[in-house]
Every structure is written in C-alpha cells, then in structure tokens.
Amino acid sequence: MGEENSRARHDMPLRRTRSKVYKSIASKKLVSLEFLCEYWNEEPAEPLDCEGNTLLHLLVISNSENALRKLMDDGDVSQAHLTKQNLRGETALHEAARHDPMCNCEECAEKGNLASVPNNLGETALFLAAACGKLDIFKLILKYGNDDCTTQRKDGCTVLHAAIMGEHYCIPHMYTLESVRKGDEEDSDRRWKAEILEKERNPFVNLLLSKVLIPLLEEIDDKKRKKFLAVALAKQLLEEEVDWSRYTYSSPKDQDQNKTPNKVHSNPLMRAIEMGIPELVEEILRYIPGAANSIDKDGRNVFHYAAEHRAGDIYEKLKVSVVNKDRMLSDVDYKGNTILHYATKIMLSSSTNLSIGIANLLTWEVFWFQRIRHDCPPHLFHMRNNDGCTAEDLLLKYYNNKREAVVKEVKEMNQGVMVVAALIATVSFAAVFTIPGGFDQNNGTPLYYKQKDHHYHELNQFFDAVWFTFFASVTSLGTLLTTQLSRFHWEDLYLVLPLRYLIALLTLFLSAGSIALTFHRALILMGYLTLKIFRALLIIFSISGLFYVDPTCYVFSYIVEVLRHSKPYKSVRT
C-alpha cells in the first residue's frame, strides 16, 4: 500500500508536466526548448494524448520547426523513438508528409529509414505525400528512403494511385523522370517525352496570369495543365500495357463471371466513359483498338456505357473508331437490355443541375433516346428485356411520373410570355389610330399624306413598323396558345414544343424591336428625336437583346443538335 502511494505521488508531477507540454503546444506558446529536451530525456517517446501522439508527432503537427530541430540535435532521439507509432499506426514522418514545411520532414527523414513504415491502413509517408500533392516532400522522402512506389495499401492502391486520384499528376511524372534518368541512355524517345513534362510554365505567363489578367484565368490554366499531364501519363501507361484481356469478360453468360480468372481489374475504357473523359477514350483506342470490344460481367459493351452515361462526344468517337459498330449497337446484355434500354435510364441525382427546370431536363433525355434510336436497327425499339419491358415502356414509366410537373412548369412559363405578347399587340393596334399628325376630320386621311414631302415617306415607314409589330406579336401569342393546348406527349418534347417555344421567343423579340422602331419613327415625325434620345433607345434595345439571348440560345442550341442527329438508321453494307 505504501509503495502504491509513493508511485502515485511520483506520477502526479509527470502528469502535470505532460499537461503543461501539451497545453503549450496546443496554444502555440511553447515553454523553453531546454524544458522540452529535459522532458524528452526523462520520458522519451511517451504518448501525450489519447491518440498516442508523442512529442515528436505534436511538434510536427503544430509546425514547431525550431523546437523540433533543437530536440533532434540535443535530445536523445534514437531510431526506435522515430519509429514510435500512434494509435493510427503513424510515425512522425507520416505527419510531416501531410504538412508543408520541408524542415520538419527532413529532420524526421534523415535520422532513420522511415519511408517504408506503414500505418494501420498500409499507407507509408511517401503515400501520404503523394495523396496530399506535396511534390517537394515526395522528392525528399524518395531521396532518403528506398520505397519504389509499388508498395500497396491494404485496398491495393499504390503511391501512384494516390497521386492520380488526388489529381496530382506531376508526382507520377516526376517518378517517371527519375526512372528514365536511371534507365537506358539510348531510350531517347522516352527521355524526350520526360524532359517535355519536366519543363515549368514560362515565368512571363505566370506574371500575366497572376498580376495583369484576372486571377480566375490562372485556375483555368492549371486545369488545362492537369488535363495535359493526365493525358500524357495515360500515354505512358498505355505504352506499358501488354494484356488488355484482364480487363474484359469473355466467358458465356451461364458461367459465374465473378469466378473468371484475371478479370478482377476495372476496365479503364469503361471507367473513362463513366467519368466522361473523351481524351482518355481516344488515347486508349489509339494504342489498343481492340479494347473497344470489351464487355463487363453483365454483358454490356462500350456503347451501352456511353448510352447510359450520356457521353455524347465519346459516343461519336466510338462510332468512328469501332469497326463492327452495327453489331455492337445491336448487342443485348445478359439481362436482355439493348442500348435503347440504357438510353432511357434517367441520370438524375443529387448533383444534377435542376435550375434549368424539369421540362428542359426531360427534353434533353428524350432527345438522347431519339438520338440513339436513329442509330439503331428498327427492331430494337420493340425488343423486351428479361422484365418484359421495351425501351419505350421504361421511358413512359418515368415520363408519366413527371408529366404533371412538366405541364405545370411549361404553362406557368408561357403565361408570363403571353402577357407580354398580348400587351405589345394591344399597343401596336392602338398605334394605328393614334398616328402622329392626326387625321383629316372630313375624309379620315392622315394629314401627313397630303404633304408630298419627307413626312409622307416617314409615315409609310411608321405604318410598316406598326403592322410588323402587330403581326409578330400575334404570331408569338398564337404559338404560345398552341403550346398551352398541347397534349404534352413525350414525343412532343423532342421537337414540337421546343420549336414552338423558339418561334414564340423569336417573334416576341422581333415585335419588341419593331415597337422600338415605331417609337423612333414617331419621334422623327414629331420632330422630337435628339441624339440623347437615340442613344437611350439604342442602350435599352441592346440590354433587352442580352436578356433575350439567355433563354433563346439554350433552345436554339437544342434545335441545332436535333437537326444534326436526325438522320434515320442506315446499316453499313459491304
């Protein structure tokens, strides 16, 4: 009992000392460096918190560079202390790899071989540096360690996987450069490619992007550089690819595809289609043309993937690159689904931009279905899958659930436009009976018609503008009225309703411009037109045109796409 009390009295000062050290690090108001060294020599590598972090861990996390350097120089820090791991299995070098200061990492790396020590997830310090995109720290750890970047995490990811998933493409290229420098001197082609990738951006371009031009352009330039590096990295990896069969299934559908040997790898081509990366698809097909014949365990080919994920650019590339496209477009997967069934899968998720409206979204979905339908043999439209549904059945099922929302949205939008069109038509109709100069009370002839001078011609132009305004506004009003009375069948969303909406907006804009011209002619007849008024009219009309472009451009681009892809199916005959 006496020994326990003595031990408790001895432990009390130690706990207070640990608390004092921890609070000073947390508040970034460190106690004296000598005190830290004395504490370390008394309790080396002892945990200071419930996560098992030692003094080394906490100094690295808090970026206390001077204290860490002092501890490394004057403290009794051994190899065993450096390899001390917290509850997550991480050493101080793991924490240093997550932070920017190079000195922290260098102090930990040069004292011992820690680069190959994994944490509980199997991640080394080199892995964390690559995942965080710390290129300088990555180089430093690679210099002191012997990790060859092929060490796998528990889920199978290597260091290069971590860098690529974090979009830090400079790290894989840097590692490739080191490999090239150590490799064959005669491999000039690969050396030349590596040197191109190693070049930094011109300092003058950096100055323009950061100082002279809008800083947003720098972000755009960085994305372009990332894209360039990603494609270049893909080319290097494709040059090393020797066996594409490990990415595709080829056994009959009655066998268990999950037991097919060497088919556990995700197909890069299908993954690129899912992610919507046409550049990567193009490079894969250029290096390995036969990859286009890949199928997954459900019997889906690349056209099925492109149809399901609405990859329009990739779909067009596949039609040009694939030799047997007619056969692949007619393929049926193991569940009886054709490419048309996949084209009806509505890709609405939590990340979908619903600000453009459900009607616009469904319009593009119907367009995509019709686009795929025009490329397919006619008999696919009537084929049923294993659930007994045709592609049209699936599309109707979803559309009927959303039809009420579509009708409500379109009619509410039309009502506002109809009010404007009716107002312009009313004003133009009234303008006919309130012309400048008035009428002759005896025969009702406009007074300016009796004067065979410039007023006669100006009045004719005034009437032309009024009649054109009335005709355009009535046309817009009538088109909108036919939309209000539409049946809203799903096929109407493909061309009829968008075309009516485009005509209504176009004629409404023309009527608005014509009524401005009418006002301009009236001012000329009355002699009130000045340069200031003319400029004001021009500014108002220009602003109105900008507001008009926003809704019209979207519909116009849709109509252009419909016309581009409206060709019926034509089989390739040999």
Q: DSSP readout, 522-546?
A: HHHHHT---HHHHHHHHHHHHHHHH
Place of tokens 């860098």: 163
Q: SS3 of 16, please?
A: helix
The values of phi and psi at residue 484, to 5°, are -60, -35
Distance CA(206)–CA(195), nearest Å, equals: 20
Contact assessment for residue 516 and residue 472, using Cβ atoms and an 8 Å cutoff:
no
Give residues with Cβ within 8 angstroms of 457, minimum separation 6.
none
**In angstroms, what CA-CA distances link 131 with 123, 170, 174, 202, 265?**
10, 12, 14, 26, 22
Contact assessment for residue 315 and residue 307, using Cβ atoms and an 8 Å cutoff:
yes
Q: Which of 499, 505, 519 is nearest to 561 (CA)?
A: 499
Distance CA(311)–CA(296), nearest Å, equals: 18
DSSP of 459-517, one letter per residue? Answer: HHHHHHHHHHHHHHHHHHHHHHHHHHT----GGGGTTHHHHHHHHHHHHHHHHHHHHHH
Q: Which amino acid is at 59?
A: L
Q: What is the pLDDT along the chain (574 residues), one digit of tens a residue?
A: 434 434 433 444 666 676 777 777 766 666 666 777 777 777 777 787 778 887 777 777 777 777 777 777 666 777 777 778 888 888 877 777 776 555 556 656 666 567 778 888 888 887 888 888 777 777 777 777 665 566 778 777 877 777 777 777 666 655 554 444 444 444 434 443 444 444 445 555 555 555 555 556 666 667 777 777 778 778 878 887 777 877 877 655 444 545 444 444 578 889 889 888 888 899 999 888 888 888 888 889 999 999 999 888 999 999 888 888 888 999 999 999 999 999 988 654 433 444 567 888 888 889 999 999 988 888 888 999 999 999 989 988 888 888 888 889 888 888 888 998 999 899 888 887 777 766 666 766 666 666 665 666 777 778 888 889 899 999 999 999 999 988 888 888 898 999 999 999 899 988 888 888 887 777 777 777 777 777 777 787 778 777 777 778 888 888 988 888 877 655 444 3
Alpha helical stretches, state H, 132-259? 135-144, 159-165, 170-182, 188-198, 203-207, 216-240
Q: Which of 254, 260, 287 is nearest to 272 (CA)?
A: 287
The values of phi and psi at residue 439, to 5°, are -115, 155
Distance CA(57)–CA(51), nearest Å, equals: 10
Token pair for residue 207? Answer: 């100055």
**In angstroms, what CA-CA distances link 35 with 22, 84, 508?**
13, 21, 81
Distance CA(151)–CA(157), nearest Å, equals: 8
Within 10 Å of residue 129's Cβ, how many Cβ atoms? 30
Is the pTM above the cut of 0.85?
A: no
Q: SS3 of 439, please?
A: strand
Q: Which amino acid is at 397?
A: K
